[in-house]
């Protein structure tokens, strides 16, 4: 049970858990969340729950050792060195665990990668670093720490919430208003997943079955834009569901997407896309290396390293490294001179993003480099290709079949549209619309095998 869009989660786990969570006194809600999260993860990962528990124990130990040396008040030089040494040990250990499991998945069996390990390991690293950064001012209890690491709304795919953002020091007082608000976000996300992302996923699967060498150039571009929307609504949908669950439980809403397709540069796009991951790399990798404070060669090196690491984090295929390298290159160019040019003509920035990002998602999606080359030869016929005849009318068929999903997806990419729905989510008409979205989503989920969220692979 690792998918929020499964019927088992929607009609078994969630109603039972919420009933218990709301019924118990406030002082026991943390414990019920911890137990519920362990059960949630153990059902999906009965073996790897031990890795999660062991990592939790080890990171709590290191955190408390750092705390003993002084947090939030004047400390001596030797204490600072000892704290830094302990933090480095914890981070190295966490990173080693992640690398070992990633290598096992690559060289032995992909099933040896625990679901969500990248996300909870990143939370553990931020937990240690935030002690040094002065972000954690009160001593966490083991229960609070364990809840932070394991809470089921975030354990599988994030968002990567920081410890101090969860306000773990205070009891969680929940209300029907919070339940209603969180449920609205949850249903919005479910609709994006089941009614948009999963429908657009069929288009991409069709292109793979046909064979990239057999599709026309217009259909290749339709596929690139379709995959871009599919990935967006799959992951934005998940993030809304996860944050909606947090709101239901009395925790703050964690924003993970801020209408990235309205961006005017690649840099801005990735400040708006998967925001908690981007800010994690910024705060715990880029800035500690010097960020943008040094000379241009150093800044270029820092950006290049961050994007290489980002590519490696997303997957073990060489295409992910290429994907990260391409994005790093354009962000470096924007940092050096391209960004100033784009600011002078905002519309050009929008076109630049909408043209380039789908191409990078194609690189992200196709792990076979030979097939990737074929796809690009279809996108850009002047590059040459295998020369297999194609059906030039295929774009008409697929355009008619998937046009409605593209229209709805494009409309939802407009910031004002979602903001309007969000502002009026308690309006009776909106509530009725969300009810229809929920049951339509359930219908599609029950009538298909179901697609797991795409970021479960990371």
- Own/partner pairs, 76-84, CB within 8 angstroms, 24+ separation: 83/131, 83/132, 84/132
Please name which of 50, 54, 31 lies closest in space to residue 42, comparing C-alpha atoms: 50
- Residues marked active site are found at 314
Question: In this structure, are residues 174 and 202 in contact, taking their beta carbons and an 8 Å threshold?
Answer: no
């Amino acid at each position: 049970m690792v998918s929020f869009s499964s019927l088992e989660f929607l009609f078994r786990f969630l109603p039972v858990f919420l009933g218990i969570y709301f019924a118990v006194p406030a002082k026991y809600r943390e414990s019920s969340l911890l137990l519920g999260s362990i059960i949630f993860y153990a059902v999906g990962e009965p073996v790897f729950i031990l890795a999660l528990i062991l990592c939790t124990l080890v990171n709590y130990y290191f955190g408390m050792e750092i705390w003993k040396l002084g947090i939030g008040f004047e400390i001596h030089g030797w204490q600072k060195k000892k704290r830094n040494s302990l933090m480095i040990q914890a981070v190295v250990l966490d990173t080693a665990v992640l690398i070992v499991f990633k290598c096992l998945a690559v060289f032995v069996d992909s099933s040896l990668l625990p679901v969500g390990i990248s996300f909870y390991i990143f939370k553990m690293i931020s937990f240690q670093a935030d002690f040094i950064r002065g972000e954690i001012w009160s001593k966490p209890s083991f229960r609070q720490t364990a809840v932070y690491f394991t809470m089921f709304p975030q354990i599988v795919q994030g968002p990567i919430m920081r410890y101090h953002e969860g306000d773990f020091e205070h009891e969680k007082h929940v209300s029907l208003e919070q339940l209603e608000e969180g449920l609205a976000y949850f249903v919005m996300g479910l609709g994006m997943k089941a009614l948009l992302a999963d429908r657009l996923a069929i288009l991409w699967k069709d292109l793979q079955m046909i064979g990239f060498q057999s599709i026309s150039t217009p259909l290749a571009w339709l596929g690139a834009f379709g995959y871009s929307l599919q990935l967006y609504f799959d992951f934005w949908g998940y993030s809304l569901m996860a944050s909606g669950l947090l709101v239901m439980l009395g925790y703050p809403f964690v924003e993970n997407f801020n209408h990235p397709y309205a961006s005017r540069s690649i840099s801005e796009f990735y400040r708006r896309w998967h925001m908690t991951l981007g800010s994690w790399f910024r705060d715990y990798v880029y800035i500690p290396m010097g960020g943008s404070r040094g000379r241009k060669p150093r800044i270029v090196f820092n950006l290049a390293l961050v994007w290489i690491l980002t590519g490696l984090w997303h997957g073990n295929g060489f295409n992910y490294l290429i994907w990260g390298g391409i994005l790093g290159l354009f962000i470096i160019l924007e940092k050096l001179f391209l960004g100033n040019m784009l600011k002078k003509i905002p519309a050009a920035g929008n076109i630049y993003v909408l043209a380039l990002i789908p191409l990078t998602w194609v690189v992200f999606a196709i792990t076979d480099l030979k097939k990737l080359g074929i796809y690009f030869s279809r996108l850009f016929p002047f590059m040459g290709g295998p020369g297999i005849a194609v059906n030039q009318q295929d774009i008409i068929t697929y355009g008619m079949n998937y046009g409605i999903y593209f229209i709805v997806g494009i409309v939802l990419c407009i910031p004002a549209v979602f903001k309007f729905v969000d502002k009026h989510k308690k309006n009776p008409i909106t509530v009725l619309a969300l009810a229809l979205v929920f049951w339509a989503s359930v219908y599609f989920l029950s009538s298909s095998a179901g697609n797991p969220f795409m970021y479960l692979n990371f």
